Structure 1
Amino acid sequence: MAAPRAPYACDPDRSRGRLFSEAPSRTRSAFRRDCDRVIHSTAFRRLKHKTQVFVFHEGDHYRTRLTHTLEVAQIARAVARQLGLDEDLTETLALAHDIGHPPFGHAGERALDACLEAHGGFDHNAQTLRLVTSLEHRYPEFDGLNLTWETLEGIVKHNGPLTDASGAPVGRYATHGVPFGITEYDRTFDLELSSFASLEAQVAAIADDIAYNAHDIDDGLRAGLFTIDDLKAMPLTQGMIAEIDGRYPGLDESRRGAELVRELISYLIGAVVGETEQRLGALLPKSAEDIRRCGRKLVAFRADAAEAEAGIKAFLWQHMYRHERVMRVMVEAECLVTDLFARYQRAPEDLPPEWLPPEGAEPESEGEQARRIGNFIAGMTDRFAITEHIRLFDSTPELR
């Protein structure tokens, strides 16, 4: 059952609006309209052929970026419903959170970051912002999707503030600075980089963790990288497996694994809702602005669940993400992306005409050219990147 709308939920009727003024929809809230625009975007459709962990041709039943994103959205809405938050905004942020990812998952991101090191690097959150504010070309009156301030804020800050009050980068950006794409846009439409994001954004972020912990266990079992009995090394999953085996003796491995994943998702959702309600009860926020100014993250796992979740991440890191089979493919994928970037720099005429500077335009700087090439590669699906490599090179890795 859905909780009544909480006073600290984002209210679409009180949105800070869009960069380009538009008449409100007669049938949809501002946040529902954002969600629909994300779903209908080209970048969202491309997620169906982008790697989560396994490259697309390794099997039809492994997660892709698209199926992962849909699972994140389902979990995020379930949490938002229990906390009385705006489900449309939460869903929008869940659906948009990965559209900036390049082909081949984190391997592609590492490769592009290295290629762009001299020009600000590559960050998938900054790329998501760039897509929804400039690279999508669907509307006659503006580039991008012209999303609300609340959605843009959530895209950029769902993991927490990017700067302190003085503007100094913090967290993951403390060493190399806030990505160029974010700082550039922030000067146009101030996203208040030093504050926390809405609860809806925080829910979308933690739903991402829940989803990939659970479905990477499912995919790892399916791929034979580890067994259900291997998961008994962790107290939480050991207890769940024992309970499942007690309820369903002799259950086949496929259903046994599916039941474990279901139990794990339910447990983690409950741990998030319980902890978040406790933190909200201590703070007693009266508005979404109170959430932004409270100075700390409010959506979180209960302490014991946080420890268990960290254990799952460590298990998956050792048994899946660093598995020789996965690592071999990802190393080859990094090389493929690096090859493409170098080729387009050396021979820009190999780019599609629409990705070349307009005829008669001022000459680009080296940085502008590099970022344009990065934008093109980041938008590729796995299969298109492979096809391009085959077109431009004599030898292409099989990625198997």
Structure 2
Amino acid sequence: MASSLYQEQDYYRGVYEAHPKEHFSPFRRDYARVIHSASFRRLQGKTQIFPCSESEFFRNRLTHSLEVAQIAKSIATGLNSRFSLDIDTDLVETAALCHDIGHPPFGHNGEKALHAKMLEFGGFEGNAQALRLLAKTEKKIFEGEGPIHSGKDNRFGLNLTYRTLAAILKYDKEIPSYIISSSGYPIKGYYLSEKMLVEKIKQHVLAGYSEGVLVGKKFKTIECSIMDLADDIAYSTYDIEDAFKGGFLDPLSMLNTEHKLLKKVQQQAELDGIIVSISDIQSVLRSIFEGIIDFDAKFTDIYQQAKKLANSSYLRTKFTSNLVHYCISNVELDCDKNCPVLSSVHLSPKVRKQVEILKLFVYFTVISAPKMNVVRYQGREIISTLFDILIASQFETSLLPEDVGEIFYAYHLDDQANRARTISDFIASMTDRYAIELYSRFTSSSAQSIFKPV
């Protein structure tokens, strides 16, 4: 991988833009566009694990994305140094900032609720929505006489470079336009509406390589691989810190977890292709506290150290810092000599097991906790009701904001797929609080101000 990872066609955009006084790279321009976009700002009001209304301490989608970006940049910088590469850190950061930008309010439960409403129109999936948002629905650039004109979609979203769009394309799979499934789990991939875009992305990024370069493998760039790994590292570390602060977990409860819960973690890990034993899980849960808790001390001292870790901001910060540094230090490179662009990164087997175990442990102990189930039910109810109300308004006076209505009514009444997708786009763009407020205005008997914009 001594040659450059980038070529001229990587910098092309859907709509040509002339920048005669360019002071920074096309990838840095993409970074700036994401930072200044409304969708990126709204991430501050979207749930990560704990509802945004609970406390300013807990991470939201925005702070999580910033942390993923920093981890991703650290990984890229380390790889550049170790292997004499030229991975563009602006591009890696932009991909990380965008990795959750398509997620709806109320986390993955909001995603499932929208998916259920969109089954006959291609479903809903956060990664597919991220690509659609960046390349189409974010309000910056369109061609022609209007965003939608004479049935043609003229929107180009932020008009990012093809290489930047490639860096957020995690799943090289077209989602069926009609989904026959009651599982409730979204299909990971991209929508049919972005199929031609994905083909253009591949044409530009793989220009100059042989036609058979994708035989036997999926399209996923090295920057996307770094972003994906950074997300896993963030999930497996910072979510534990939030769980400590929220009182859902503490070190001693983790070290003395019931066997049936450990069995759940083991079974799910095996479904994900990772073979671990119960003792492996227990060993990981113990090892993450090394250097902070002295397990050779008396029980009373261990108890005090564990309690202090759960309650001390200084120790929690040290704890997560140690975990993140340990993971970044164990990143390995899989070089694709035939197509360096499609090289990938992964954690060493030992550390990968640790990351997967911690992710699953948090899922079963925190995300699936009864208190969180109440929040999940509320989120599903709000999104489902909003969708039903807004889609039904096409036969009456519109309840949509003017800019959304402009898109919605530009499609013919018979084009239910695009009309439903427009409603889905609108709901997915909402913050938790906005969705709750709009739901309340539609369903509450108490008076609401008509002067507050929709």
1:196 to 202, 215, 219: 219
1:79 to 75, 80, 98: 75
Which residue of 1 is the match for residue 428 of structure 2? 378
In structure 1, stretches of 5+ residues that fail to align are 1-5, 164-172
In structure 1, distance between residues paired with 2:188 and 2:369: 29
1:235 to 283, 289, 292: 283
Assess if the C-alpha contact under 8 Å between 1:111 and 1:338 holds in 2. yes
Structure-2 change in CA distance of 1:390 and 1:175 (3 Å):
closer
Given residue 77 of structure 2, which amino acid in structure 1 is its aligned partner? R
TM-score (norm 2): 0.74
How far did residue 134 of structure 1 move? 1.6
Q: Is 1:350 the counterpart of 2:399 in the alignment?
A: yes
Structure-2 change in CA distance of 1:140 and 1:112 (3 Å):
closer
Given residue 27 of structure 1, which amino acid in structure 2 is its aligned partner? H
Larger Rg: 2
Q: Deviations over 1:38-57 (max 9, x none)?
A: 11111101101011111111
Q: Which moved more, 1:308-317 or 1:35-44?
A: 308-317
Which residue of 2 is the match for residue 336 of structure 1? 382
Assess if the C-alpha contact under 8 Å between 2:76 and 2:226 holds in 1. yes
Structure-2 change in CA distance of 1:66 and 1:176 (3 Å):
closer
In structure 2, distance between residues paired with 1:363 and 1:161: 32
1:262 to 299, 307, 321: 321
Structure-2 change in CA distance of 1:309 and 1:178 (3 Å):
same
Which residue of 1 is the match for residue 53 of structure 2? 57
How far did residue 177 of structure 1 move? 7.4
Given residue 168 of structure 2, which amino acid in structure 1 is its aligned partner? I
In structure 2, stretches of 5+ residues that fail to align are 81-86, 144-154, 175-184, 207-213, 257-281, 447-454
How far did residue 361 of structure 1 move? 6.2
Q: Deviations over 1:335-381 (max 9, x none)?
A: 11000001112224111122224678643422121111101100001
Given residue 118 of structure 2, which amino acid in structure 1 is its aligned partner? L
Given residue 181 of structure 1, which amino acid in structure 2 is its aligned partner? S
In structure 2, distance between residues paired with 1:309 and 1:93: 21
Q: Secondary structure at 1:242's aligned position in 2?
A: coil
Q: Secondary structure at 1:299's aligned position in 2?
A: strand
Structure-2 change in CA distance of 1:83 and 1:139 (3 Å):
same
The alignment-based identity, stated in percent, is 33
1:161 to 159, 172, 175: 172
Q: Deviations over 1:54-112 (max 9, x none)?
A: 11111110000000000000000000001112101100100111111111110110000
Given residue 261 of structure 1, which amino acid in structure 2 is its aligned partner? T
Q: Is 1:110 the counterpart of 2:112 in the alignment?
A: yes
Given residue 120 of structure 2, which amino acid in structure 1 is its aligned partner? A
TM-score (norm 1): 0.83
List aligned pairs for 1:242-253, cutoff 5 A.
242-246=290-294, 252-253=308-309
2:242 to 219, 224, 242: 219
In structure 2, distance between residues paired with 1:179 and 1:350: 26
How far did residue 179 of structure 1 move? 2.5
In structure 2, distance between residues paired with 1:53 and 1:97: 16
In structure 2, distance between residues paired with 1:178 and 1:130: 8
Assess if the C-alpha contact under 8 Å between 1:13 and 1:29 holds in 2. no
In structure 2, distance between residues paired with 1:93 and 1:124: 14
In structure 1, distance between residues paired with 2:42 and 2:370: 28
List aligned pairs for 1:20-169, cutoff 5 A.
20-24=15-19, 26-84=22-80, 85-139=87-141, 143-156=156-169, 158=170, 161-162=172-173
| Root mean square deviation, CA, Å | 2.8
Structure-2 change in CA distance of 1:67 and 1:12 (3 Å):
farther
Structure-2 change in CA distance of 1:68 and 1:115 (3 Å):
same
Q: Deviations over 1:191-235 (max 9, x none)?
A: 679643221111011001111211110111111111122333632
Q: Deviations over 1:151-174 (max 9, x none)?
A: 111211x3x5337xxxxxxxxx99
Which residue of 2 is the match for residue 185 of structure 1? 197
Structure-2 change in CA distance of 1:232 and 1:269 (3 Å):
farther
Given residue 152 of structure 1, which amino acid in structure 2 is its aligned partner? L
User: How many residue pairs align between the two structures?
Assistant: 367
Q: Secondary structure at 2:391's aligned position in 1?
A: helix
Structure-2 change in CA distance of 1:395 and 1:231 (3 Å):
farther
Which residue of 2 is the match for residue 271 of structure 1? 330
